């Protein structure tokens, strides 16, 4: 799932071949050097002439390394347009903005045609066989974006935008680690990349884009039966209203957004359609009700150094309802 | 023809010629490319002229290094004597310097080629 040796993208394929050519070439040269060493180390041999010695140095020490290095350098340079497809990138139809924060990923899909843009977190969905561009940003410290199965890595630097583009060649679910130490939870800052068939991707994107934040002043939405009366979208189920009321009452919406409701917090990850994501807390936990409840109760346990405060005051039954609601929403 | 070639003189400057050309070539290549990319003329078409110019500059630098290597070869006696030239005489010192200069010229030649190789393969600036 997270391996550069199991490539599922055009760039990763190029890196894969580069790796094996270097490994095999290195092994052959090593064996050759060892063979010469053993040959030279045999006892009882006559000293070779100075002229022969100079010839060995010239061929083995100058010509051979020069030719090998020139070949390797040319191969690597020749690969560069494939590994970093600068011109193809400019023509990619879809370009995402990915912002890394301690310790999660903010992902923005742009508007397309009638579809408005939307923001999501910690999981990127990509269409199969289409080149997708990435504008990479960092909100706090240096992070690095790396989907080993799809391509090479690119640093994310505060105050700077870096570019990358990837083309996936095989559908599947791939893990991407943050590849630059960024703090205490660096090791549990993971990103899930889901490569989907074009039609499935289009349907997913449409469903996501249709969920837009609901204005709090909207007069058409009904008031929920419980809670302190936040306005919610009309399509919430009773249970959902319960969960949403709990979400609002405990102040979750100050940091988190649930598109399709009035919750529009921008500080933490967007939680819309959390249930469809492969993992919780940027790859730190499995996406289960128990894990989500435990994370809300004490986020520091799974993600030391995370900015989210602990919520031990939420009663267990409310916590279970909230976790169910978030995983089922919308 | 003979008059174009400098007289043999005993100075360390001949030793430095090739590495200095290598350093100069390196700086020119990197600075010129950095300026062109920063100014946004980094498209494939925009970069073509610059690549050709730097290609020509590379050939010029290689010629200088070959010239320096020829002088070194002459100083080394065209290879009639074999190293290590470690006797404490003026003649041996000259031969040693010539041989060292020849080797440095070879290194500089390869280095200039390696520095210039990206010109062949990379058509545009990274965004």
Q: What is the pLDDT along chain B (127 residues), one digit of tens a residue?
A: 455 666 666 677 788 889 999 999 999 999 999 998 888 766 777 788 889 999 999 999 999 999 999 988 888 888 777 777 887 888 888 888 888 899 999 999 999 999 999 998 888 787 6
Strands A94-101 and A131-138: parallel
Cβ(A201)–Cβ(A94) under 8 Å? no
**Size (chain A), residues:** 330
Global pTM?
0.79
Instruction: Name the closest residue on chain A to residue B114, using Cα atoms.
Output: A70
Residue in A50, A70, A81 nearest the CB of B82: A50
Cβ(A177)–Cβ(A145) under 8 Å? no
| CATH homologous superfamily of A212-328 | Cupredoxins -  blue copper proteins (2.60.40.420)
Q: Say how far residue A74 (Cα) sits from the centre of its chain.
A: 31
CATH class of the domain comprising A88-208 = mainly beta
Extract the residue ranges of chain A whose pLDDT is less than 70: 43-44, 86-90, 216-241, 329-330
Task: Kindly state whether residue B61 falls inside one of the protein's structural domains.
Answer: yes
Report cis status (omega within 30 of 0) of the bond before A330. yes
> What ipTM goes with this model?
0.81
CA A27, A28, A33, A37 torsion: positive or negative? positive
Contacts of A65 in chain B (CB under 8 A): none
Instruction: Name the closest residue on chain A to residue B119, using Cα atoms.
Output: A77
Residue in B117, B125, B127 nearest the CB of A77: B117
Task: Kindly state whether residue B99 falls inside one of the protein's structural domains.
Answer: yes
Task: Kindly state whether residue B9 falls inside one of the protein's structural domains.
Answer: no
Domain enclosing residue B95, as ranges? 16-121
Task: Kindly state whether residue B126 falls inside one of the protein's structural domains.
Answer: no
Beta strand segments in A149-253, E: 154-156, 162-167, 172-177, 190-196
- Total domain count, chain B: 1
Q: What is the mean pLDDT of chain A?
A: 87
Contact at CB, B125 and A73, closer than 8 angstroms: no
Task: Kindly state whether residue B11 falls inside one of the protein's structural domains.
Answer: no
Cα–Cα nearest to A228, from A249, A214, A244: A249
Cα separation, B21 vs B64, whole angstroms: 8
Cβ(A102)–Cβ(A183) under 8 Å? yes
Cα separation, A121 vs A119, whole angstroms: 7
């Amino acid at each position: 799932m997270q391996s550069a040796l199991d490539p599922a993208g055009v760039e990763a394929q190029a890196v894969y071949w580069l790796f094996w050519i270097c490994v095999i070439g290195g092994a052959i040269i090593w064996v050759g050097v060892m063979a010469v060493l053993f040959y030279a180390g045999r006892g009882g041999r006559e000293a070779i002439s100075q002229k022969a010695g100079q010839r060995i140095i010239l061929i083995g020490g100058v010509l051979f390394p020069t030719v090998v290095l020139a070949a390797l350098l040319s191969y690597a340079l020749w690969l560069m347009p494939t590994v970093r497809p600068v011109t193809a990138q400019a023509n990619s139809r879809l370009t995402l903005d990915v912002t890394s924060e301690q310790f999660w990923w903010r992902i923005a899909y742009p508007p397309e045609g009638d579809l408005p843009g939307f923001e999501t977190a910690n999981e990127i969905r990509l269409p199969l066989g289409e080149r997708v561009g990435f504008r990479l940003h960092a909100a706090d410290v240096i992070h690095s974006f790396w989907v080993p199965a799809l391509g090479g890595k690119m640093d994310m630097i505060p105050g700077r935008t870096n570019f990358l583009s990837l083309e996936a060649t095989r559908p599947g679910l791939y893990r991407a680690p943050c590849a630059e130490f960024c703090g205490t939870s660096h090791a549990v800052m993971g990103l899930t990349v889901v490569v989907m068939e074009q039609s499935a991707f289009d349907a997913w994107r449409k469903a996501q884009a249709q969920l837009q934040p609901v204005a709090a002043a909207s007069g058409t939405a009904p008031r929920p039966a419980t809670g302190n009366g936040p306005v919610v979208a009309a399509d919430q189920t009773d249970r959902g209203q319960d969960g949403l009321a709990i979400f609002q009452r405990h102040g979750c919406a100050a940091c988190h957004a649930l598109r399709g409701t009035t919750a529009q917090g921008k500080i933490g990850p967007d939680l819309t359609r959390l249930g469809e994501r492969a993992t919780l807390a940027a790859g730190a936990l499995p996406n289960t009700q128990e894990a989500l409840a435990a994370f809300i109760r004490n986020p520091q346990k799974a993600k030391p150094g995370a900015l989210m405060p602990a919520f031990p005051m939420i009663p267990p039954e409310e916590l279970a309802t909230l976790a169910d609601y978030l995983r089922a929403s919308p | 023809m003979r008059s174009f070639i400098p007289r043999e003189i005993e100075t360390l400057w001949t030793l430095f010629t090739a590495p200095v050309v290598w350093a100069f070539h390196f700086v020119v290549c990197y600075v010129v490319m950095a300026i062109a990319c920063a100014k946004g003329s980094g498209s494939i078409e925009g970069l073509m002229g610059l690549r050709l110019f730097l290609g020509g500059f590379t050939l010029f630098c290689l010629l200088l290094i070959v010239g320096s290597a020829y002088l070194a070869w002459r100083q080394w006696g065209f290879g009639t004597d074999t190293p290590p030239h470690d006797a404490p005489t003026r003649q041996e010192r000259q031969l040693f310097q010539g041989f060292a200069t020849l080797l440095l010229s070879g290194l500089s030649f390869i280095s200039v080629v390696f520095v210039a190789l990206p010109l062949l393969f990379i058509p545009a600036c990274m965004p």
